[in-house]
Amino acid sequence: MQVTVYQDGELAASFRYGRPPAFHGVAGEEVRALLETPCHFRNRWTGEVSARPRDDTPEWWASTILGAWLGAYGFTVETIGLPLRRPVASLAAD
């Protein structure tokens, strides 16, 4: 599984499950800051909530990254191989 983040077509960050993230340039540091901003995290597949980022399951790992709403900050997010389980219906519009 992987998540790749771009800003204006340039690589900002890349994530591969089970490996440390890679942040690139100023845009990468923006991504890092957004991921480190305290908030409640919601698992998009189970509906569970956590007060801290988690990566103990593939669903939590992906939910933590996607929960930073990087697209709302001008980033383009591409995913490959996310869990196939259908997201919780009430969270699909989040």
- The pLDDT score that the predictor gives to residue 14 is 98
In total, the chain counts a number of residues equal to: 94
Q: Is the pLDDT of residue 92 over 60?
A: no
Amino acid at 8: D
31: nearest Cα among 54, 47, 7? 7
- The pLDDT score that the predictor gives to residue 86 is 60
- Which has the higher per-residue pLDDT, 83 or 57? 57
pTM > 0.95: no
Tens digits of residue pLDDT in 24-48 = 999 999 999 999 887 788 888 888 9
How far is Cα 26 from Cα 24, in angstroms, rounded to an integer? 7
